[in-house]
């Protein structure tokens, strides 16, 4: 029983440390990772493969994508012509930072 409690306390401590880390890295990581994984098809928030679906607010809202969660869902389960990225390729934390970058930039 004691071991379980210790494990929980350690887990909690580790989670809070990584949460603090993600706050620190916010802007730059989202931008860097966008450039690494997305900009090949979405240069400057456009869309080379399907010009009707760029990353600007109007187009996103037309597809009912209004939140960070909506963009993360698209990364995990994209439409035709877009690469699918699972958690191995882009972690939830990274996907969230990329989504925040998109919402505030395009």
Q: Which residues bind ligand HEC (CB under 6 A)?
A: 37-38, 40-42, 47, 49-50, 53-55, 59-60, 63, 65, 71, 74-75, 78-83, 85, 90, 98
Contact (Cβ atoms closer than 8 angstroms) between residue 34 and residue 102: yes
Residue 39 to residue 31: CA distance in whole angstroms: 10
**Residue 27 contacts by C-beta under 8 Å, 6 or more apart in sequence?**
101
Residue showing the smallest CB distance to ligand HEC in the complex: 79
**Shortest separation between residue 7's beta carbon and ligand HEC, angstroms:** 34
Closest CA to 97 of 26, 39, 15, 36: 26
Which CB atom, from 29 or from 55, has the smaller least distance to ligand HEC?
55
**Shortest separation between residue 105's beta carbon and ligand HEC, angstroms:** 11
Contact (Cβ atoms closer than 8 angstroms) between residue 29 and residue 99: no
Which CB atom, from 16 or from 67, has the smaller least distance to ligand HEC?
67
**Shortest separation between residue 92's beta carbon and ligand HEC, angstroms:** 13
**Shortest separation between residue 14's beta carbon and ligand HEC, angstroms:** 26
**Residue 29 contacts by C-beta under 8 Å, 6 or more apart in sequence?**
94, 97
């Amino acid at each position: 029983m004691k071991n379980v409690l210790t494990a929980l306390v350690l887990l909690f401590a580790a989670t809070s440390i990584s949460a603090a880390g993600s706050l620190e890295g916010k802007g730059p990581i989202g931008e860097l990772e966008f450039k690494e994984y997305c900009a090949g098809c979405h240069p400057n928030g456009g869309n080379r493969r399907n010009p009707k679906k760029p990353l600007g607010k109007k187009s996103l809202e037309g597809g009912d994508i209004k939140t960070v969660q909506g963009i993360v869902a698209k990364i995990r389960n994209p439409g035709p012509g877009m690469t699918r990225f699972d958690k191995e390729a882009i972690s939830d934390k990274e996907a969230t930072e990329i989504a925040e970058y998109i919402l505030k930039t395009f």
